[in-house]
Amino acid sequence: DAGITQSPRYKITETGRQVTLMCHQTWSHSYMFWYRQDLGHGLRLIYYSAAADITDKGEVPDGYVVSRSKTENFPLTLESATRSQTSVYFCASSEGWLGNQPQHFGDGTRLSIL
Amino acid sequence: SQQGEEDPQALSIQEGENATMNCSYKTSINNLQWYRQNSGRGLVHLILIRSNEREKHSGRLRVTLDTSKKSSSLLITASRAADTASYFCATDQPGSARQLTFGSGTQLTVLP
């Protein structure tokens, strides 16, 4: 089925470890986004990408790295995980970016860092 | 930083009643979107309203926008238990460098 899928759905790791969250979309949307969702903060943008090999920082990029070698994939890496990065991470895509395009979300990765 | 703030934070109603949620924002916007999030799932886009529009309908949803008050409301008519979810507004601002800013959401519970 077409859509946007995230993996893994749940992840537990330890501080200092590297962890990569995967995101794959089948619509060939140009734009992809990574958000984190924490109680009391709503969704906050970490990074976004306008096309393959084009990425840019969002509101809370520190401690995260992204890449986009193919249009359909947009992995998010925590190079050295910290407890403050415990959160639910959502990937999203949109056809374009004029602010008048809906974003389509995956079901999230629940990440716990011990 | 949060642009949108939803009000109330939580709302509980009986099936068949109408539910109204409000969103206030701080700076001028280009567009405002509403999303729904069911427990354990991703956000689903509901409706978009442009800054030059005042009202928009989609099925049982009615959205209004008052740019002079920097506020929007989402009305769900004849609510159903399946409408139980969190509802978020999201705005994009002029010069926002392609960022949608989400509020912290309203948790709606519809009791059967």
pLDDT in tens, A4-62: 999 999 999 999 999 999 999 999 899 999 999 998 778 999 999 999 999 999 989 99
B41 touches chain A (CB under 8 A): yes
State the nearest Cα–Cα gap between B35 and chain A, in angstroms. Answer: 9
Residues of B in contact with A47 (CB under 8 A): none
Cis peptide bond N-terminal to B8, omega within 30:
yes
Cβ–Cβ below 8 Å for A40 and B104: yes
Q: Quick check: A98 pLDDT over 80?
A: no
User: pLDDT tens digits, residue range A60-92?
Assistant: 999 999 999 999 999 999 999 999 999 999 999
Supply the mean pLDDT for chain B.
92
| Distance separating alpha carbons of residues A54 and A69, to the nearest angstrom | 9
Nearest chain B residue (CA) to A37: B104
* Strand blocks (E) in chain B: 4-7, 10-14, 19-25, 31-37, 43-50, 55-58, 61-66, 71-76, 85-92, 101-102, 106-111
- Higher-scoring residue by pLDDT: B96, A10: A10
Q: Quick check: B98 pLDDT over 90?
A: no
> In this complex, which of B2, B40, B92 lies closest to A99 when CB atoms are compared?
B92
Helix (H, G, I), strand (E, B) or coil at A84: helix
Residues of B in contact with A94 (CB under 8 A): none
B28 touches chain A (CB under 8 A): no
Residues of B in contact with A45 (CB under 8 A): 99-100
**Tell me, what's the pLDDT at B1?**
47
Nearest chain A residue (CA) to B46: A102
B97 touches chain A (CB under 8 A): yes
What is the per-residue burial (b if ≥16 Cβ within 10 Å, else e) of A78-102? Answer: beebeeebbbbbbbbbbeebebebb
